[in-house]
Amino acid sequence: MEFKELVKGIKVPVIGMGTFGIGGGMSPDASHDKEDIAALRRGIELGMTHIDTAEMYAKGHSEEVVGESMKPFDRKNIFITSKVLGTNLRYNDLINAAKRSLKRLKIEQMDLYLVHWSNPDMPLKETMRGMEYLLEQELTRFIGISNFSVKEMKEAQSHLDKNKIVTNQVEYNLVHRNPEKELLPFCQKNKIILTAYSPLGMGRVVRMKIPLLDALANKYNKTPAQICLNWLISKPQVIAIPKASNIKHVEENAGAVGWKLENSDIEKLNRLAV
Ligand SMILES: NC(=O)c1ccc[n+]([C@@H]2O[C@H](COP(=O)([O-])OP(=O)(O)OC[C@H]3O[C@@H](n4cnc5c(N)ncnc54)[C@H](OP(=O)(O)O)[C@@H]3O)[C@@H](O)[C@H]2O)c1
């Protein structure tokens, strides 16, 4: 696995694992837990030790499945991110939500806790005070946000006394380029990690059969999914969290690292208009 620096001295794998759909969709469904746990464990073995979950996913069951999948491994070798719902952003609600997540994950401390979505009805200052409390109490090692604009990010940071927002998790993939306009340059300039969610466009990017992707897959003897992920992580400050329940997909995604696209091919993908 390859890593990028989250903060000085702390590194995260460039490819991690998403878990939306694991443990159920919008409500819990335990019928695929066994396969999902096996997929997550295989991914951890292959070095995709950053696991992204949220209290929203399967109404908490996704976190329970993640907790179960970690059991055979040394906790300190796994990097767990979870997220608080946009409706739990009041000071006490946020702290209680984080404690419930810890309980479901069966861990003492999360590595990273994110505000899942901004909510104009909740004062951001109060939310960030809650996030700082979690840091003080060592309930999480780092904090961040998700789906925030640059303006919202700056505002969130302005409410923090001594701590840093270490990531903004946003949708970013070959066919969804919004972050390239403002957010990615901002993160690169300020050395903040941009975590790319839906890095395969929920699988759509692979299903679209884009000729350039197929050609590059042929050239590098890789798969289209591996080309998509390698292109994302070729960008400074970007890490990705593809979700895969299928073990073959897990193995494929882990194989998106350890080699590099040539600059001219990165340029071609940059220019791709789909
Ligand atoms: N912060 C937010 O608001 C937010 C929003 C969306 C997502 N996320 C996070 O980001 C994670 C990833 O995003 P996502 O789940 O939306 O989409 P994604 O990772 O882009 O795509 C997942 C889909 O692609 C398939 N897939 C995975 N690897 C593949 C491969 N190598 N070849 C072909 N198909 C492959 C998966 O199938 P199988 O499962 O069958 O293997 C699944 O159907 C989420 O799980 C979640 O943790 C965060």
pLDDT at residue 141 tops 90: yes
Atom 34 (ligand 1) nearest CA: 203
Radius of gyration over every alpha carbon of the chain, rounded to an integer in angstroms? 18
Whether 274 has a pLDDT exceeding 90, the answer reads no
What's the whole-model pTM score? Answer: 0.98
d(CA 25, CA 74): 28
**How far, in Å, CA of 259 to CA of 174, rounded?**
19
* DSSP bridge pairs for 143: 113, 165
CA distance 65 to 28: 11
Percent of the chain with pLDDT over 90: 98
Q: Rounded to whole angstroms, what are the CA distances from 211 to 20, 68, 220, 232, 267?
A: 29, 40, 14, 18, 15
CA 83 and chain centroid, separation: 10
Q: Is 199 in the pocket of ligand 1 (CB under 6 A)?
A: yes
Confidence at residue 161, expressed as pLDDT on a 0 to 100 scale: 86
Question: Pocket of ligand 1, candidates 105, 112, 115, 200: which has the most ligand atoms within 8 Å of its Cβ, to mutate?
Answer: 200
In the chain, % of residues over pLDDT 70:
100
Task: List, for residues 38-85, the tens digit of each pLDDT value.
Answer: 999 999 999 999 999 999 999 999 999 999 999 999 999 999 999 999
| Any atom of ligand 1 within 6 Å of the Cβ of 167 | no
Q: Give the tokens for residue 117.
A: 């979505």
Residue 273 above 80 pLDDT?
no
